[in-house]
A and B are shown apart, each in its own frame.
Chain A
């Protein structure tokens, strides 16, 4: 009895240890013979690698490696390292039974008998795919932040470099204009034209900066509580000269209060774009701006009495770099694209239709308070 008891205890301990290893789910823990063939298989190995014990026992560990790692002799290399140093560890891609890859942390430990003869290896593998994905995601976010920062820096410098000389140019033109206005009509007219060209240049710079901004992310809005009619009247004031020059007439039909939390400058930008378009494509015709409420939405319609849009243009005028088919009318075709981005950033929309009685009607919808 005294001889048997320690041996029975040892067997029991060995059995308990085997059961413990077999039940581990988070780690694949298994034995390899000296040549690298699988000798045992636990629950974790089955869960991580997808093989049943009877499918895998006896097969070489190279089945767990990617073809590239196999071709490079990586399995043998790791076993050799474990023999020489007692232990080999690496993180790398491994292949499951179904062919999918996972990111593994692998530790191979060699086992020797008292005489130093290699008995085999234990191999412990952890699936770190989720952790790696999280790290990749984190890296992606860091890179995205960096891209936004670089974009903002570029926009800031481009804006500054383009607008600074334009500021001096515009002011000098204006002063030259003002000083000759009373004595030389023709010179004053030429200088007024130059100033209008400068205004267009300023608008184009803004548009290009907006498009660069939109291309790399959303427009940021400075929301404030505001009255829609205020923005419409403000823009109407600004286009007054243009209306006179185009021989048009601007009628505004405000219908009660339409309050919302919007970006004032951006809303004015949309209105300016609609009105400039009407003046450009339908000169000499009346332009009607009508404000109304549609349940929880504020609606502004800008209607002209020009030729309307060619039917094929109706669907694409809000796309980037599109403009109505007549190439003689100039412009980069950015304005309507930007209006759509502005409306959508507010949770609203822009649309266009041809009226049956003639003319185009552009509509801006914005959510009310």
Chain B
């Protein structure tokens, strides 16, 4: 874990069923000073979110996942006041994204993407939280 001047405040939660994607996102963010948590589907992410003493600052969310997909995860977050305010970036590899079901996602990005785009999305969402806070 990175601390001190390099730390970019609260951790980033990566929710993606593909281990290579999770590790690549983690590598790209950790090498730039972010702290990262990961979950391999929506359900595990909810369990993690409800056990953490303090919520992550940002969630990066895949849409197509087994057990609980990104759409249902977003729905569950909307209904839970403790989670509803965490900013979410959807990062999808799908061809068609149902925008009507992404009302509480602040950003929608497409895979594949460059590290800059990934970091940019996290910084953008963090600044939204700061403005809102």
- The answer to whether A171 and B94 touch across the interface, beta carbons within 8 angstroms, is no
- The answer to whether B96 and A164 touch across the interface, beta carbons within 8 angstroms, is no
Q: Is B112 an interface residue (CB 8 A)?
A: yes
Q: Is B75 an interface residue (CB 8 A)?
A: no
In the bound complex, CA of A152 to CA of B5 (Å): 47
- The answer to whether A168 and B96 touch across the interface, beta carbons within 8 angstroms, is no
- The answer to whether B94 and A159 touch across the interface, beta carbons within 8 angstroms, is yes
Number of interface residues of A (CB under 8 A): 24
Which positions in B face A, CB cutoff 8 Å?
A: 18, 20-21, 23-25, 27-28, 31, 64, 93-96, 111-115, 118
| Apart from A163-B111, A174-B115: 18 A-B pairs, beta carbons within 8 A | A152-B96, A156-B96, A160-B64, A160-B95, A163-B93, A164-B18, A164-B20, A164-B111, A167-B20, A167-B93, A167-B111, A168-B21, A168-B23, A170-B113, A171-B27, A171-B28, A171-B112, A178-B115
- The answer to whether A170 and B96 touch across the interface, beta carbons within 8 angstroms, is no
Q: What are 30 pairs between A and B in contact, CB < 8 Å?
A: A156-B94, A159-B93, A159-B94, A160-B64, A160-B93, A160-B94, A163-B111, A163-B112, A164-B21, A164-B93, A164-B111, A165-B18, A165-B20, A166-B112, A167-B20, A167-B21, A167-B111, A167-B113, A168-B24, A169-B112, A170-B113, A170-B114, A171-B25, A171-B27, A171-B114, A175-B31, A178-B115, A198-B112, A209-B95, A213-B95
- The answer to whether A155 and B96 touch across the interface, beta carbons within 8 angstroms, is yes
Q: Is A80 an interface residue (CB 8 A)?
A: no
In the bound complex, CA of A163 to CA of B94 (Å): 8
Give chain A interface residues in 51-74, CB to chain B under 8 Å: none
Collect the chain A residues with CB atoms within 8 Å of residue B111's CB. 163-164, 166-167
Collect the chain B residues with CB atoms within 8 Å of residue A216's CB. none
In the bound complex, CA of A198 to CA of B112 (Å): 9
Q: Is A78 an interface residue (CB 8 A)?
A: no
> What are the interface flags for A161-187 relative to B under an 8 Å C-beta threshold, 1 for contact and 0 otherwise?
011111111111011001000000000
- Contacts A156-B64, A160-B64, A172-B24; is A167 near B112 (CB within 8 Å)? yes
Q: Is A202 an interface residue (CB 8 A)?
A: yes
Give the Cβ gap from A92 to chain B, nearest Cβ, in Å: 44
In the bound complex, CA of A162 to CA of B31 (Å): 26
Collect the chain B residues with CB atoms within 8 Å of residue A152's CB. 95-96
Collect the chain A residues with CB atoms within 8 Å of residue B93's CB. 159-160, 162-164, 167
Give the Cβ gap from B95 to chain A, nearest Cβ, in Å: 4
In the bound complex, CA of A202 to CA of B95 (Å): 12
Give the Cβ gap from B116 to chain A, nearest Cβ, in Å: 9
Collect the chain A residues with CB atoms within 8 Å of residue B113's CB. 167, 170-171
Collect the chain B residues with CB atoms within 8 Å of residue A174's CB. 28, 114-115
Collect the chain B residues with CB atoms within 8 Å of residue A178's CB. 115
Collect the chain B residues with CB atoms within 8 Å of residue A172's CB. 24, 27
- The answer to whether A202 and B112 touch across the interface, beta carbons within 8 angstroms, is yes
Give the Cβ gap from A82 to chain B, nearest Cβ, in Å: 57
Question: Which chain A residue shows the least CB distance to B25?
Answer: A171
Collect the chain A residues with CB atoms within 8 Å of residue B27's CB. 171-172, 175
Give the Cβ gap from A146 to chain B, nearest Cβ, in Å: 17
In the bound complex, CA of A175 to CA of B28 (Å): 7
Collect the chain B residues with CB atoms within 8 Å of residue A213's CB. 95
Give the Cβ gap from B73 to chain A, nearest Cβ, in Å: 16
Collect the chain B residues with CB atoms within 8 Å of residue A170's CB. 112-114
Give the Cβ gap from B66 to chain A, nearest Cβ, in Å: 12
Give the Cβ gap from B124 to chain A, nearest Cβ, in Å: 18
- The answer to whether B64 and A168 touch across the interface, beta carbons within 8 angstroms, is no
Question: Which chain A residue shows the least CB distance to B91?
Answer: A167
The CB with the most chain A CB atoms within 10 A, among B18, B27, B96, is that of B96
- The answer to whether A175 and B115 touch across the interface, beta carbons within 8 angstroms, is yes
Question: Which chain A residue shows the least CB distance to B18?
Answer: A164
Question: Which chain A residue shows the least CB distance to B116?
Answer: A174
In the bound complex, CA of A155 to CA of B96 (Å): 8
